Amino acid sequence: MNLLALIAVIALSLILFFTKKTEYKNYKIAKIMSTLLFLVFLFRLFTTEDALNNVFNVLLYDIDTPRNAAETWLFSPGMTVIIIFLRWLTMASLLWLVLAPYIKVPAFNILGQVVGTIVGVLNLVFFEQHLIAMTNNPDMLTFKAIQYLIETALLLFIAFSSFLNSLRNKEHRYSGKEVLWFFLVFAGSLFAVMPQTMMYNLFGYYGEVPDEFTMSHIFVIVFPFALIFLVNILMKNRSRISKEALIAYIVFAAFTQYFYMRRETLEALPLHLCNTAVVLLLLAYVFKIKGFFYFSYFANVLGALAAILLPNYSSDLFSYSVIHYGYNHLYAFITPLLCVSLGVFPRPTLSHMYRAILVFSGYFVAVVFLNAWFNNYANVDYFFTYSDFLTDMFNIKEIQFNHIIEFTYKNLTFRFYWLFQTLYFLVFIVLMFASWYVYDAFFQMSDQRQRLKAKQRLIKIDKLKLLELLDGRKPSEPMNPGGKDMIKINHFSKKYGQSERYAVKDFSLEIHGGEIYGFLGHNGAGKSTTIKSIVGIQSITEGEIEVCGYSIKSQPLEAKLRIGYVSDNHAVYEKLTGREYINYVADLYLVPKKIRDERLNALAIKLSLIDVIDQMIKSYSHGMKQKLVVIASLIHEPPVWILDEPLTGLDPISAFQIKETMRDHASKGNIVFFSSHVIEVVEKICTKIAVITQGQLTGVYDINVLKDKNISLEELYMRGINQGNLAVDYV
């Protein structure tokens, strides 16, 4: 009969293949068929007492075993192994085939078709053995047998027909990488749905009880964390649909694995927190119910973690109950976390958590009530709210048993351990809040990591761009060899932070060697902003600034080596002496010892600072600090010297000394560029002047030309400001 069915199914598939052509309908039919398959499977899962589950230790039989188990065997060891592996593969194929029409990832499709077909054929071939494994009855004409035949035939039909269908479509060939990926999915899927009695069937009692932090328990604890980590790494760069597929598979696997164990008593209702979780997660995923999902996210993960740390089983690692417990809590723990980390469900907000607490409260009340009710019929202890499991563990039994409310209603006694239950509830709520903070910390950490990664990518791109621009030259060579002794500002714009307003907009200027260039502007015009961008203190929003041919943006170090900068504020360490400070700066600019001493002495004498150079800077006056900064900025004899408001607040002698130094420096062919809002000063020592008004360059003048034409700078300046946007006048 099984062979008959096999031939029938194959024939039907072939007929379908040759008659049906439209693909769209096929998908609809595929969905219906796969749902049907799942329902048939569920029916069997819920109604069948499995005979194979009692088979014990077929492989290690000859080794010294504690129990003679041969009488439990249904077949020879070889056949048992074949049947177990067939069942295993069947389970995996079934889920692939059920999910494939809904979530279109190639892995499910291909694996479902190929493995499903092979397994389907083999299942029909070994149909009798399967029947024995299930019911211990080879009779083909029982209800169970027919039911199982339908299921097997349906699976083969779906697998084979979609296989034929894909042949017609001539889908593209898969690369080696993709094939490798299929193998990974294959292995992962198999792990997810491993028959829970398999270890016990094959090896009998083995390993120790994994609790109280023995090595095997530590393995059990570490495994879920490692798994989450591994899955995240593997799935990080996969498409969204693959992530969906992974979660879907896990959710279904969790569900089928939970119900793998036949349970018919009241006690076995899935009302324990983590048992509820597998059902809720399936519902939450299939119907996108956020309340259920975040309930499991905040409550189950905690519960599962507690269960993994403090398990309540007492049998060995390979026993049915431990593996069942392990799978159940593994899924309850990792599924919600993976859902969020892979982005299948969004990160929870605080309101999600409040809703989760609400759902939890409802659940808790229900469980407490059901415990009180069902204990009239059986020993029920959902979520440990009724037994002394927890109070015994924490040695607080008095709290539970000294505070009881009890009442009877129609022969039914309802008992509530009100104090213990309330405390339990409150502790769990507190833990949920605590978990919120843990989650939040993780989110922040991962966000920061993302930002870091993005930033590192940008830096890499900038580097590549620079190399491209340099066009084969060394990075130490100027990008623009033509601009060797000049500052070139090209359409420079600057915005601060998130501000919409430009502090400086579309500013272009060229400054050549030997010039003392004055930079005039009212307070807040953008002088300091421009200067800080030239010296590389601030970033450039748009445009380009070159110093001696080096771009300050992409070759900042080379450019800075050629700049001396006097800030508008004194950037000095008050606790150092003048000499130490200069030495520190000289170290920064790699000026050799001998040269730096010569320069320091010369400049200190020139600026009459030599007497105080060995005193602590704390004791310096404003002018002395300013002069010290001037010395520091010239210690490496920069071809470009930039000063921001250098003469503010100085006495006439100091001001004169600094002005003299500026003239000296320019006379050596260097650039001196300084800002000021005092027109007289600028007029006196500058050769050229740039005027900036409200962030825009409003005029560039040659002092000598102005003198020749007898135009007062003051007048010009006032006019420029009043008109706001005077055309740039390159005199």
Partner 1 sequence: MFERIKILTLLQLSNKTRLFVKGSKRIYAHIAIRAFIVVLLTVIVTLVLHVLKNIFYIPVNEFLMIFILILTQGLNIVVSTISLVSDLYQSKDNQILFSLAVKNDEIFISKILVYYTNEFVRNLFLLIPIFVGFGIISNLGFLYFSSLVFIIFLLPIISIGVSSFISMPLAYFLNYIKKHSILSAILSLVLVLLLFFVTYLVVNQIPTPIRIVQLYHRFIVSLTIAIQRIAQYGTIYTIIGKMLFGINYLLNLLILFLAVGALVAINYLVSKPVYFRLMSTSQENTVKKNKKKAKPKESKSLFLTFLWKEFTIARRSLNELLSNYALLLTLPFFMFVLNYIYMGMNRSSFGNQVVLVMNVIITLLIVTGSNTASATAITTEGYEFVLLKTAPYNTSKMAWAKITFNFCFTTLMIALSFFLFSRALPLFPKGDIWLLLIFVILVNSGHILWSFQIDLLDPKLSDYASTGSITNNNNASKSLSNGLFLALFFGVIAVLGFIIAKDVGWMLMIGLALMFLIYRLFSFRAHLGAYFDDIEY
CA distances (Å), origin 571, targets 43, 366, 632: 80, 68, 10
Q: How far apart are CA 119 and CA 520, in angstroms?
A: 85
Which is closer to partner 1, CB of 69 or CB of 632?
632
Q: List, in sequence order, every residue forming a beta bridge with 489; answer none if it has no partner.
A: 509, 545
Residue 509's H or E segment, with its range, is strand 502-512
Our finding on whether 614 is near partner 1 (CB under 8 A) is: yes
* Residue of 136, 444, 476, 569 that binds partner 1 (CB under 8 A): 569
Our finding on whether 49 is near partner 1 (CB under 8 A) is: no
Cα-Cα end-to-end distance for the chain: 105
* Residue of 49, 139, 398, 587 that binds partner 1 (CB under 8 A): 587
Our finding on whether 104 is near partner 1 (CB under 8 A) is: no
Our finding on whether 592 is near partner 1 (CB under 8 A) is: yes
Tokens of 663: 């003239």
Tokens of 602: 């010369």
Tokens of 594: 């001998």
Tell me which DSSP letter residue 171 carries.
P
Return the range that interacts with partner 1 (CB under 8 A); candidates 137-145, 238-246, 562-570, 685-693. Answer: 562-570
Tell me which DSSP letter residue 691 carries.
E
Which is closer to partner 1, CB of 81 or CB of 561?
561
CA–chain centroid gap for 575, Å, is: 44
Which is closer to partner 1, CB of 243 or CB of 494?
494
Min. distance of Cβ 288 from partner 1 in angstroms? 35
* Residue of 560, 659, 665, 688 that binds partner 1 (CB under 8 A): 560
What are the phi and psi torsion angles at 257 (to 5°)? Answer: -65, -35
Our finding on whether 589 is near partner 1 (CB under 8 A) is: yes
* Residue of 218, 226, 467, 678 that binds partner 1 (CB under 8 A): 218
- Backbone CA torsion sign across 322, 328, 330, 332: negative
> How many other C-beta atoms are found inside a 10 Å radius of the C-beta of residue 221?
16
Which is closer to partner 1, CB of 397 or CB of 579?
579
Question: Using CB under 8 A, which residues numbered 537 to 556 contact partner 1?
Answer: 537-539, 556
Min. distance of Cβ 123 from partner 1 in angstroms? 46
Which is closer to partner 1, CB of 141 or CB of 590?
590
Which is closer to partner 1, CB of 527 or CB of 596?
596
Tokens of 105: 């990832």
Q: How far apart are CA 80 and CA 475, in angstroms?
A: 70
Min. distance of Cβ 319 from partner 1 in angstroms? 23
Position of tokens 């015009």?
Answer: 525
Our finding on whether 70 is near partner 1 (CB under 8 A) is: no
Tell me which DSSP letter residue 686 carries.
-
* Residue of 576, 655, 726, 728 that binds partner 1 (CB under 8 A): 576
* Residue of 183, 433, 573, 656 that binds partner 1 (CB under 8 A): 573
Our finding on whether 433 is near partner 1 (CB under 8 A) is: no
Tokens of 144: 């169970």
Q: List, in sequence order, every residue forming a beta bridge with 577; answer none if it has no partner.
A: 616
* Residue of 243, 494, 596, 599 that binds partner 1 (CB under 8 A): 596
Min. distance of Cβ 88 from partner 1 in angstroms? 34
Which is closer to partner 1, CB of 509 or CB of 629?
629
Count of residues engaged in binding partner 1, rule: CB under 8 A: 50
Which residues contact residue 144 at a Cβ distance below 8 angstroms, ignoring those fewer than 6 apart?
A: 48, 131, 134, 135, 137
Question: Using CB under 8 A, which residues numbered 364 to 423 contact partner 1?
Answer: none
CA distances (Å), origin 479, targets 484, 524, 564, 585: 10, 32, 20, 27
Position of tokens 């110093």?
Answer: 547
Q: Which residues bind partner 1 (CB under 8 A)?
A: 212-213, 218, 448, 452, 455-456, 459, 532, 535-539, 556-563, 565, 567, 569-573, 575-577, 579-580, 583-590, 592-593, 596, 614-616, 618-619
